[in-house]
Amino acid sequence: MGKHRTGHLHRCYAWLVDTIDQHPRGISLEEISQLWGNNKDVNEDGEKYIVESKFHRWRRAAEEFFGIEIVCDSNGCYSIANHDNSSLYKIARQTLNAFAVSNIIKGNQSLDKQILYEDVPSSQQYLTTILSALRNHHTLKMVHQSFWHDEPTYPIVEPYCLKMFRQRWYLLAKVIDNSKEGDNGKLRTYAVDRIVSIVETENNYSLPDDFDANKFFDNIVGISNVNGKVEKVTIVVDSEQRKYIRSLPLHHSQKEVWTGDWESEFEYKLIVNEEFRRELRAFGPGVEVLKPAWLRKEFRKEANILSEIYATGK
């Protein structure tokens, strides 16, 4: 099957799931067929309706592709079984949103210059394989090219969970075989967009009964240094930047402990890793670190270095 045909089918699957998703109480095949007949974005051949056999092919393929379950009730209406509650559904929703924009633009070329995309790392092509391995408890065989190494690694891993951070997908997995000495038996995080190739094997594994993905990442921002020391961090934020921090907390432990006319004080209980530092740096002079003392000293040193760089001029 050609790339164009495959891409079009994926857009059809996305349209079908998106259509059903918009009717949480259920939608009949007749109604779906009517909507398809009126669709000008994806229905390239101008079909008046969807034949039942094609609908069921698309339904099964969409379930596999997006990792969801489409069910039919006693009235013959279809809905998504794990709507809103499932992590798989949330991943599917991310993919569907991307396809939805693609479908709109495909059918409305005049919008091409009015919708601006953010260039984000591609990882969608590997999500289906990873989700399948998570669901089936199968190991994964990968070729992974890290930013920090010249040569790729060839790990075989037991996938534990997927996590998205700053528009990148990360796979947390236990390494069971890797050419890198000392890695075997350890939990490692892999950037999915740095995967060169990936294959789901037929080898089974068991996820530890006490593993909880939310708890694993509970004390950090991002994905690194999960075993560090939890500390209390206090920052002062100016009146403009605090609006952003209130609307999008840096960490679930965030508390606004003092509010003034021109600034607010926020507290966190977490592991200070590089991702958290980057979050603070992004606010520039709008954020001042008060505690812990070592972190304040670190930020003061960075500020002095920047001051020297810009003082010289060119």
pLDDT for 101 equals 59
Tokens of 144: 């992974």
pLDDT at 303: 93
CATH of the domain at 256: 3.30.70
Report the candidate in 233, 247, 147 with the shortest Cα–Cα distance to residue 189.
147
Closest CA to 89 of 131, 129, 138, 133: 131
Pairing of strands 287-291, 255-259: unpaired
Same domain, 249 and 279: yes
The dihedral sign for the CA sequence 52, 54, 55, 59: positive
Tell me, yes or no, whether 250 lies in a domain: yes
pLDDT given at position 103: 56
The percentage of residues in the chain with a pLDDT greater than 70, rounded to a whole number, is 81
Number of structural domains (the chain) is 3
- Separation CA 174–CA 185 (nearest Å): 6
Asked if 222 and 204 sit in the same domain, the reply is no
CA pair distance 107, 277, nearest whole angstrom:
43
Q: What is the CATH number of the domain that holds 161?
A: 2.30.30
pLDDT in the model for residue 100: 59
Same structural domain for residues 194 and 223? no
Cβ atoms of 133 and 140 closer than 8 Å: yes
Give the other-Cβ count within 10 Å of 131's Cβ.
21
Residue 43 belongs to domain spanning: 3-111
192 assigned to some structural domain = yes
- Cβ of 144: how many Cβ atoms within 10 Å? 21
Mean pLDDT of the chain: 84
One domain for residues 258 and 273: yes
257 and 278 co-located in one domain: yes
Residues 181 and 232 reside in one and the same domain: no
Res 286 pLDDT > 50:
yes
Contacting residues for 30 by C-beta, under 8 A, at least 6 apart? none
Q: Are residues 237 and 295 in the same domain?
A: yes
Residue 171 sits in the same domain as residue 101: no
Same domain, 154 and 187: yes
Q: What is the dihedral of CA 248, 251, 254, 260, to 10 degrees?
A: -40
Q: What is the pLDDT of residues 127-171, one digit of tens each?
A: 778 888 888 899 999 988 888 778 888 889 999 988 888 878 899
Whether residue 48 is found in the same domain as residue 133: no
**118 in a structural domain:** no
Whether 37 and 130 share a structural domain: no
- 3-state DSSP helix/strand/coil percent for the chain, to nearest 5? 40, 25, 35
